[in-house]
Amino acid sequence: MKVDTLLLGPMLNCTYIIENRGLAVLIDPSWDMPAIYKFLEDKNLKPAAVFFTHAHQDHLTDAEALLIKYNLKGYLEERDEPLCSLPKVLVELYKAPKIFEIAGLKIEIISTPGHTKGSVCIRIGNVLFTGDTLFVNSVGRTDLPGANPGSLIKSLKILTSLPRETIVYTGHSYGGKDGFKTTIDGQLSSNPYLKLAKNNPKLLEDML
Ligand SMILES: [Zn+2]
């Protein structure tokens, strides 16, 4: 398994392409479909599945074209359906937590509401894709419709219990150079929100 990152669009959204056995699992394909098509074609990868970490528009802009081109449906946690602008016929709703077996990969969906009701983190082996739940040294906004600070704190606490060596890929590159990639261990030492979620969640309530 190999993880590739495409930084696309004006908000430094991360499209992740997980390669395994000539197949590709895509997470949050958005903004620049031609760039994604070119990447897949250059590497001779066949898309096997598309997952969305949540249904905010910047994580699925223009994904409709990709889903049609490759005859796929995008997997979305059902609680985010009200936010989703994709045609219903292109979306496969499911309830987290859930485990998928696709492209020879065990894909574990962890329910992490807070940024949105249906936000999930996606764990494959020792790699975790956090969407807008966790950023490098920050966390997702909780002031948008459907967001809930208390839920986000509980979700962050779940992440603090994962193995510390877990590699984290975030939904935006907000952390400077390579600002989309970190570890649980690194964030437990440098991310004030994650530290507080673990050690003093009550105080964190006042900050979100
Ligand atoms: Zn978002």
CA of 17 to the centre of ligand 1 (A): 19
CA of 54 to the centre of ligand 1 (A): 7
CA of 94 to the centre of ligand 1 (A): 19
Local confidence pLDDT in tens for the 208 residues of the chain: 999 999 999 999 999 999 999 999 999 999 999 999 999 999 999 999 999 999 999 999 999 999 999 999 999 999 999 999 999 999 999 999 999 999 999 999 999 999 999 999 999 999 999 999 999 999 999 999 899 999 999 999 999 999 999 999 999 999 888 899 999 999 999 999 999 999 999 999 888 8
Environment class of 132 (CB within 10 Å of its CB; exposed 0-12, middle 13-18, buried 19+): buried
CA of 19 to the centre of ligand 1 (A): 25
Sign of the four-CA dihedral 76, 81, 83, 89: positive
CA of 56 to the centre of ligand 1 (A): 5
Which DSSP letter does residue 18 get?
E
- Given a contact cutoff of 8 angstroms between Cβ atoms, the answer to whether 184 and 165 are in contact is yes
Confidence at residue 29, expressed as pLDDT on a 0 to 100 scale:
98
- Given a contact cutoff of 8 angstroms between Cβ atoms, the answer to whether 34 and 6 are in contact is no
CA of 142 to the centre of ligand 1 (A): 9
CA of 120 to the centre of ligand 1 (A): 11
- The whole-angstrom separation of Cα 34 and Cα 186 is 34
> Minimal CA–CA distance to 73: which of 93, 100, 102?
93
Confidence at residue 105, expressed as pLDDT on a 0 to 100 scale:
98
CATH number of 2-205: 3.60.15.10
- The whole-angstrom separation of Cα 178 and Cα 170 is 11
CA of 21 to the centre of ligand 1 (A): 31
Q: φ, ψ for residue 168 (rounded to 5)?
A: -115, 130
CA of 118 to the centre of ligand 1 (A): 11
User: What does the chain come to in residues?
Assistant: 208
CA of 34 to the centre of ligand 1 (A): 23
CA of 44 to the centre of ligand 1 (A): 30
Report CA dihedral (56, 61, 64, 65) to the nearest 10 degrees: -160
The domains of the chain are located at: 2-205
Residue at token pair 């459907």: 146
* Confidence (pTM): 0.97
**118: enclosing H helix or E strand:** none
